[in-house]
Structure 1
Amino acid sequence: MQSTTHRAARTLVLVRHAKAESFAEQDHERELTSRGAGDAARAGEWLAGYGVVPDAALVSSAARAAQTWEALAEAAGYRLDPVLDDAMYDAGPETALDLIRGTDQVVGTLVVVGHNPTIGYLAQLLDDGEGDPDASAGMLEGYPTGALTVLRTSGAWTDLELGGATVLAFRTGRE
């Protein structure tokens, strides 16, 4: 009898926080502007329309990232408490990828809300070049506030490598 390993398809959504105020007493406390809140809500509506239903959310503990998740989740109708992670606040791409690799294996769809340049770089570094060429090209033009990338990968989160995901869609925050 031949053994077959099932490689589950997983969806990863990388989101840069929406537009935030320029200054606060501490950077970690910067909050979304009204435009940012609206952009995040539109992103949530778009994700719901695209059919994304997350099992988990990994969100930077910064106020602007948490508020992006809140507005996005409310607009999409997600009833999911995020994991607010201090490490995502100042994570570089490798650290962010390590945090994603730590995701519970029962999670099929993960939304990550973080900061640039990390989120934009990570989306590009994960791109295997086999997905939507317009989406991949759009990411290269910039990753503005509120932008997001939907990627598909197979296998365990622990096995996710650079170049190991297919870009399905890219959306900027003002769409």
Structure 2
Amino acid sequence: MVADMPGSPRTLVVMRHAKAEQAGPTDFERELAERGRQDGAAAGGWLAARGILPDVALVSAATRARQTFTSVAQGAQWTLEPTLDRGLYAADPDTALDLVRSLGDDVSTVVVIGHNPTMAYLATILDDGEGDAAVGMTGAFPTSAVAVFTYDGTWGDLAGGGARVTAYHVGRA
């Protein structure tokens, strides 16, 4: 989906990676557990049922986040190639928000897949407190958690409290 004009409604999806194995050669290289693959696909199916088709996917380059995107994309039947970002692995919420702010005005829908606590903090920071769906988001942001936001400005102007939670879901197979 391409935005009609710079101030047209935009969709931002913030997702924590799916369930990973407890160990790997390094933390960065930990792979998804089988449950994580299934939960990721379930989250993708949920996103597809809501008509979410991203223009851009910003994904941590860590193995479990890349594999989460693959599972979500399969479940949603997306053909999009992700933009992998090593910085999202250890990013703080401001850094993750800066990545979103750097998007062009031609992008109307973006999916960000990363790690906690960053994804939970990012979702909390963005929330304007007005959406009914935010109630489900309080507390934990478990693996495969997905928060969907709408935003009525340019990405470059996105600020804390500037987006409305329209849906929240935890992908489970």
Q: If the length of structure 1 is used for normalisation, what is the TM-score?
A: 0.93
- Kindly indicate whether residue 58 of structure 2 is the aligned counterpart of residue 46 of structure 1: no
The separation in 1 between residues aligned to 2:6 and 2:93, in whole angstroms, is 28
Matched, 1:170 2:165: no
> How large is the Cα RMSD of the aligned pairs?
1.2
1:12, distance to aligned residue in structure 2 (A): 0.1
- Which residue does 1:120 correspond to in 2? 120
Alignment of 1:22-171 (within 5 A): 22-132=22-132, 135-171=133-169
1:164 CA drift (Å): 0.3
How far apart, in 2, do the equivalents of 1:68 and 1:6 lie?
30
Q: Is the 8 A contact 1:144 1:173 kept in 2?
A: no
Give per-residue Cα distances to partners, 1:127-171, cap 9 Å, x unaligned: 011212xx2122112100000000000111010000000000110
Deviation at 1:103, TM superposition (A): 1.3
SS at match of 1:80: coil
Question: How far is 1:6 from its partner?
Answer: 6.3
Higher helix share goes to which structure?
1
Residue 28 of structure 2 aligns to a residue whose secondary structure is helix
Q: What is the rounded CA distance, in whole Å, between the counterparts of 1:141 and 1:6 in structure 2?
A: 33
Return the letter of the residue paired with 1:98.
D
CA separation of 1:112/1:161 partners in 2, compared to 1, >3 Å: closer, same or farther?
A: same
After TM superposition, the runs of 4+ consecutive aligned structure 1 residues lying more than 6 A away are none
Supply the distance in 2 between the matched residues of 1:86 and 1:35 (Cα, whole angstroms): 24
The answer for unaligned runs of 5 or more in structure 2 is none
Deviations 1:19-43 (A, max 9, x none): 0001111111000000000000000
Larger radius of gyration: 1
Count of residues paired in the alignment: 169
